[in-house]
Amino acid sequence: MVGGGQHDGGLADPPIGNGRAMAVLFAREGAAVAVADIDRASAERTAELIEAGGARAAVIVGDAANEAAVASVFAGASDALGGLDGVVLNVGIGAGFLLQGTTADEWDRVMAVNLRSQFLGCKQALQTMRAGSVVLIGSVAAREVLPFPAYGASKAALESLCRQAAVEGAPLIRFNLVHPGLIDTPLGRRASELSPGRNNVRIPARRQGTAWEVASAALFLLSDESSYITGQILIVDGGLTIGPRG
């Protein structure tokens, strides 16, 4: 579980984030989980929640945008768990506001974390796994015009990356992509602070989603119940991208 920690953004009572929800849900369903994150304390908190539920967890620390670190994360997770049959790549940051308010350094930093890390994760999965499923976590920002262009562009590129990985991994390793919509997470609340209109978006489901709903979608794509699905995009957005938004 790459990105299995959580950054609360200074919130006094933060909701659970996507990465932590996925790690906990996978453990509840019987998986041993390696929680990888750049923040050791955050990863350890997720591991504590897993172990409190009676499942096994390992904590791996590394920078998902650094090639050597990613190789170390995969090797450490494989050693700790006795091999890998499922991987989730849940990494993402935002920086810049509109094209005119985004610097080249901010653009490069977002691409390194949001896209380079997923490329490195897919590459390591192909090298490390004998069979199984990989789930990339993107965003409906890939298909919507939002005021965070670097973030949107990085998530749009994941669609091409997912298809490429699925072809190279077939038939033994499946790769799929989840695009969450407006989800009530610490990152989501931070985005709403930067762009207050986010909370006024009219969603057909009449609400924002939860991290548990994103986790359930990822669980399906990791499981054998999705054994004939690869190279596909599952949008979890309450109908946001299809409208009408009345």
Domains annotated for the chain, with CATH where assigned, are 18-236 (3.40.50.720)
Residue 53, pLDDT above cutoff 60? yes
Would residue 228 show up in a list of annotated catalytic residues for this protein? no
pLDDT surpassing 60 at residue 78: yes
Average pLDDT on 6-10 reads 81
The one-letter amino acid code at 98 reads L
Give Cβ neighbours of residue 152 (< 8 Å, ≥ 6 apart).
Answer: 139, 141, 142, 144, 145, 146
Kindly tell me if the per-residue pLDDT of 160 is higher than 90.
yes
- Which among 90, 151, 175, 209 is annotated as catalytic? 151
What is the pTM assigned to this prediction? 0.93
Are 148 and 141 in contact by the 8 Å Cβ rule? The answer is yes
pLDDT at 147 (0 to 100): 86
- Mean pLDDT computed over every residue of the chain: 94
The model's confidence at residue 195, banded by pLDDT at 50, 70 and 90, is low
Average pLDDT of the segment spanning 53-78: 97
Query: Between residues 197 and 140, which one has the greater pLDDT?
Result: 140
Q: How confident is the model at residue 245 (pLDDT cuts 50, 70, 90)?
A: low
pLDDT at 198 over 80: no
Share of the chain above pLDDT 90, in %: 83
Q: Classify burial at 152, counting beta carbons within 10 Å of its beta carbon; exposed 0-12, middle 13-18, buried 19 or more.
A: buried
- Provide the 10 A C-beta neighbour count for residue 169: 21
- pLDDT, residue 8, reads 82
pLDDT tens profile 205-214: 999 999 999 9
Residue-wise pLDDT tens digits, 12-30: 788 999 999 999 999 999 9
> What whole-number distance in Å separates Cα of residue 148 and Cα of residue 139?
12
Q: Which two tokens stand for residue 23?
A: 């790690």
Strands of the sheet containing 132-137, edge to edge, are: 86-89, 132-137, 173-180, 233-236
* Whether pLDDT at 64 is above 80: yes
Q: In the predicted model, is pLDDT for residue 244 greater than 70?
A: no
pLDDT of residue 200 exceeding 90: no
